[in-house]
Amino acid sequence: MKLEKNRVFLEEEDLKKVFALFTSCTQDEKRQVLDESSARYFKKENLSEEYELRMTKRDFAIDAWRSVLAFLQSQGVKIKLNDSEISLSFVESEFM
């Protein structure tokens, strides 16, 4: 992830990590996504393959939100809204 001129740019590796986190809803799956020796390791994702979703829009939205928050947390990002700033560590509890 790069920051340039008030913009955030995701690289191919970042997109792989977001997708891998999106398809992982448990703590164990999340650990596998970050484990280089695992078959689920995010760098092994082939983003050219097709992926079919079969879930409700609400579940999709929750999974997408969780994966983006987990990705941003892994990059050290914090949220600042008005005068309040919080860590994204709360996302850990979003994985079952």
**pLDDT attached to residue 18:** 95
Q: Distances from the Cα of 28 to the Cαs of 13, 47, 93, in angstroms?
A: 21, 22, 13
Domain ranges of the chain: 2-94
**pLDDT attached to residue 48:** 96
Backbone angles phi, psi at 7, to 5 degrees: -130, 155
**pLDDT attached to residue 43:** 97
**pLDDT attached to residue 4:** 85
**pLDDT attached to residue 95:** 86
Q: Which of 85, 90, 48 is nearest to 69 (CA)?
A: 90
Q: Which of 62, 70, 63 is nearest to 31 (CA)?
A: 70
pTM of this structure: 0.84
Tokens of 81: 């809204």
Average the pLDDT over 27-44 and give the result.
96
